[in-house]
Structures are given as structure tokens and as C-alpha cells.
Amino acid sequence: MKNPPVVAIAGVTGAVGQEFLRLIEQRKFPFSELRMLASARSAGKTFDYLGKTYTIEELTADSFDGVDIALFSAGGAISKEFGPIAAKAGAVVIDNSSAFRMDPDTPLVVPEVNAEAVRRHKGIIANPNCSTIIMNVAVWPIHQAVGVERVVVSTYQAASGAGAAAMDELEQQARDWAAGDAITQDIFGRQYIWNLFSHNSDIDPLTGYNTEETKMIKETAKIFGDDDLRVSVTCVRVPVLRAHCESINLTLKKPLDENAARELLAAAPGIRIVDDRVGNRHPEPLAASHEDDVLVGRIRSDAGQAPGMGLEIFVAGDQIRKGAALNAIQIAELLL
């Protein structure tokens, strides 16, 4: 790998692609060359970035010659087709799609949890699902300290997880509603403003679990390296733009009181405690938006379990940032 590396961004025009650019600037991520890749539709467009004019190139099999790090966020089909090509060309692929997450040869990494797994890559490293990342950052310090036997989690997920067009539709619905117009509903097929609904991913007709829920279960087991961890999960979309919240109930293997839990979480990387009982200020999606840290609050011993054996927390994390682009950039930083 050259130092500084040649970096390619596959899907640079998307919400996560644009966040990659912001993060490379903010974190002064080093590069000797940046390749801006997207579909043929965007190819040829130019834009200024860090004092230079870039031209978007069409993503093709030839895009990765000489590339050291390829950040993919262009959907699963593109990752499946071009990820292995980029890896074969010598790049380390950091893939934001679900295409390789459960592949035994592909590390699945949340840097705050299993940074060392990066070393085992064979050309591709997978970035986990957004809801998984946000939960894992908050639960891992507790799991490491006393062992978590069971997680029961319900999500409050933002529109951003369904893409920039979904965010636009939600905003348009607010304008439609305020104007007294018919509510635009091209993407979700329903009114989203003043509403919420079960996550829009496909549901397994046999088990009743949707794909988002299955990801949170399977990915967490892989990232934590713990197949015994039991995860019960319900994924829900709420009318919020870009940060996910999760209500997380833990059953512990060894007792941990809420003060010890709060200290553990406060000292853990990637977490900011927002837990003001008097002022009633706790993690909220607006406060988490555009932030690096996962906000953790409502930390309390669970009255519904044996004393010290249960813990409740409520978390909020930016879906586009820590849930996607930031986690990938952190993985890239581990590679340097």
C-alpha cells in the first residue's frame, strides 16, 4: 500500500459517499489520489473538493488499477460485482453493503469492538448494518465487563437508512401536509409523517423476521465472536431524518449496578453519555445527527429482572455517519 494511499469511492454521489468526503476532510485522512466513482448517469460531472476539481468517473472493471483503498457504498449488486475485482486489482475493499458481511473469509468490523479482525482480511472488509453498529458500540463495553446473556432491542429508525430519496420524501410529506395537499408516497407507499411502520425490508414468511432484524442478530454474533448471545429484535421506522434510536434491555451474566455501568460506558470509545434525570434530557435523534459518538442514556437497573442482573439503556446514533461512513473510514484508518 502506497503511503499516502490511492483511495477510490464507489458511489460518491450517494448520501454515504458524500459523507465519506466530509469525513476525509474533517479527519485529514491522507491520500495521494482520490477517484470519484459512480454510475454512468453521474459520470462526467465535476465538483470542487479540497481545492481541486474532480470529475466523476463511471465505475467499471478498470476503475481499481493502482487503488489501495476502495470505499464501496453503491448497493449490494455493485459490491458483489466489483468488490472482488477491486480486491484482485490489489485494493483493500471496505464495503458498506450486506454482500460480504456473513462471508466467513470477510472480517465484519466495528473498530470499537473488534479492530483486530481487520488483520484477517483477504481483500474485503465488511462494514456492518447501521443498526448493528450503533447497538454494538453501546453493548460491547457491558458484554466485555460482565457478559451479556440476552439483548431485547426495539429500534426507532430514520428515513436515511432507506436512502436520500426516502429522506426527501419524508420532508416533502411535511410540506404537502402543511399545504393541505395530497401526501406524496412514491417510496414507502404510505403516509410516513405522523406515522411509523415496521421496517421496510423483506419479511421471511416462515419466521416473521425482516431482513434488518436478521442482520442485527447474525452480525452482532459475528462481531462479538459470541454465537451464544441471544438477541430479540424488532425494527421500526419512525418519521426522523438521519439518526437511529434503540431501546435496549440487557440480561447480564454477572451483576452490574447502574453506576458501574454508567462509568464503564462513559469510559468506552465512541460513546457520549446523555443521561440527565432531573432535566429529562436523554439521547434524541436530532442531538445525535452529524455527531461521531453514539449517545447513551436512560441507564438504569431493570426493575423487571433480579437486582443487578438487568440493565436498560436508550441510544441514538447518526445512521449515515457512525452507522455507515464513519465506521468505514475508521476501518480505513486501521489499515494505515
**Concatenated DSSP letters of 115-138:** GGGGGG-SSEEEPPPHHHHHHHHH
Q: Which C-beta is closer to a copy of itself: that of 178 or that of 182?
A: 178
Nearest distance from residue 211's CB to a copy of itself, in Å? 11
- Helix 130-146 and helix 211-224: axis angle, to 10°? 40
Residue 177 Cα distances to 35, 119, 170, 195, angstroms: 41, 51, 11, 13
How many other C-beta atoms lie within 10 A of the C-beta of residue 3? 8
Interface positions with a copy of itself (CB under 8 A): 150-152, 154, 156, 174-175, 177-179, 190-191, 193-198, 200, 202-205, 207-210, 217, 230-234, 236, 238-241, 245, 247, 249, 258, 277-278, 280, 282, 284-286, 297-305, 310, 312, 314
Q: Rounded distance, CA 26 to CA 19, Å? A: 10
Nearest distance from residue 295's CB to a copy of itself, in Å? 12
121 is known as an active-site residue: no
The sign of the dihedral angle between the CA atoms of 130, 132, 136, 139 is positive
Q: Which C-beta is closer to a copy of itself: that of 225 or that of 307?
A: 307
Q: Which C-beta is closer to a copy of itself: that of 39 or that of 191?
A: 191
Q: Rounded distance, CA 38 to CA 44, Å? A: 10
Nearest distance from residue 64's CB to a copy of itself, in Å? 37
| Helix or strand run (H / E) with residue 140 | helix 130-146
Q: Which C-beta is closer to a copy of itself: that of 182 or that of 303?
A: 303
**Furthest-apart CA atoms within the chain: distance in Å:** 62
Of the residues 121, 130, 235, 282, which is catalytic? Answer: 130
Looking from the CA of 41 toward its CB, the CA atoms found within 13 Å total 5
How many other C-beta atoms lie within 10 A of the C-beta of residue 228? 9
Nearest distance from residue 172's CB to a copy of itself, in Å? 10
Nearest distance from residue 48's CB to a copy of itself, in Å? 27
Contact status, residue 321 vs residue 329, Cβ threshold 8 Å: no
Q: Which C-beta is closer to a copy of itself: that of 250 or that of 328?
A: 250
Of the residues 121, 143, 199, 244, which is catalytic? Answer: 244
- Helix 130-146 and helix 258-267: axis angle, to 10°? 120
Q: Which C-beta is closer to a copy of itself: that of 71 or that of 151?
A: 151
Nearest distance from residue 143's CB to a copy of itself, in Å? 15
Distance of CA 37 to the CA centre of its chain: 21
199 is known as an active-site residue: no
By annotation, the residues acting in catalysis are 130, 244
